[in-house]
Structure 1
């Protein structure tokens, strides 16, 4: 690996936007990979270094480049819940259909983790498929119900997904709907929301 490439990876991981600019000016490649096949933009996204990501996006970095775990800069935003990073990557035109190792889009981990602001922004600012089904047979709605803690954040996410047109009665791979999961878990607040749209 040449010195400028190494410098760019280090700058991205550290969130040093000025050093990233210098490395790029010295000929660093935007798509250089570290030992885990992570690009500088993925490293910046993982650590929520927004300013550095903006430098990389302006240089043409790929928001869809996946590492050895199938993570990409765009997909990672759903895990971190960073609205600022999501918006930093939108000018790069990320592929909203790219999936992680579980077969999910960025919306699904965001719903599971209770990232309300991210889910709201993603639904408002992109045309992501609200009913995408991952390899577990779960949609974002099902993940919010099955894996969420049923607190206010997950209730709000269920509301946001339903308002965005999520199919409330789309069952999982075992034929169980979000409402049935909510009732089994005793999640009365979420169950009430789901009953309204039946």
Structure 2
């Protein structure tokens, strides 16, 4: 499932000048504030660091400035989002790549117990899925709903080109085509029930049943 902030929460930043600068992408201000001793890991009311605020807004250069200054890419807010997890879920690819280059915990999970790969697959972020797979995120991780990235790509996807590509990427990476949900329904059975014929064929070719 998608990991993100509740509606309207992005606007509720703290009074911290660093958080405000991150939200608007003001890199010069971020630099000045950090040199003046602003806390990189200070939290706002939602438990977010300035880096997470920048990540939510996809302020790439602001995120870069904070990451290069040593901000923690794995620091979670009160609902379990971190810059790494949020960038993966949203398909914020440039920020994601920076987090991966600066110590992203590939085993970290969101509030649904899912890795960054699972919401990326659900939402059809092809390049993000490819990047996470190449980084080594476990393709068969099961979240608290009992779903893998492959299951979410089928169950919550639309069967279109993006999700077909994601299914192919996951299968090529070794995803188990027969890892069923909690009710014992396999990805192939879900694809068939939804009329996703091309995905069904891909799953069959990978040994799905």
TM-score w.r.t. the length of structure 1 is 0.95
Give the alignment's Cα RMSD to 1 decimal.
Answer: 1.0
Partner of residue 10, structure 1: 20
Task: Tell me by how many angstroms 1:82 deviates.
Answer: 1.6
Displaced runs of 4 or more, over 3 A: none
CA distance in 1, matches of 2:88, 2:158: 18
Determine which of 164, 167, 176 is the counterpart of 2:176.
167
The DSSP-based 3-state class of the residue aligned with 2:58 is: coil
Partner of residue 123, structure 1: 133
Instruction: Answer 1 or 2: which has greater helix percent.
Output: 1
Partner of residue 192, structure 1: 201
Unaligned runs of 5+ in 2: 1-14
Determine which of 63, 67, 82 is the counterpart of 1:72.
82
Partner of residue 85, structure 1: 95
Number of paired residues? 193
Task: Tell me by how many angstroms 1:173 deviates.
Answer: 1.2
Partner of residue 68, structure 2: 58
Unaligned runs of 5+ in 1: none
The DSSP-based 3-state class of the residue aligned with 1:48 is: coil
Describe the superposition over 1:27-75 as per-residue Cα deviations: whole angstroms up to 9, x where unpaired.
Answer: 0011001100010110111111111111111111111111111111000
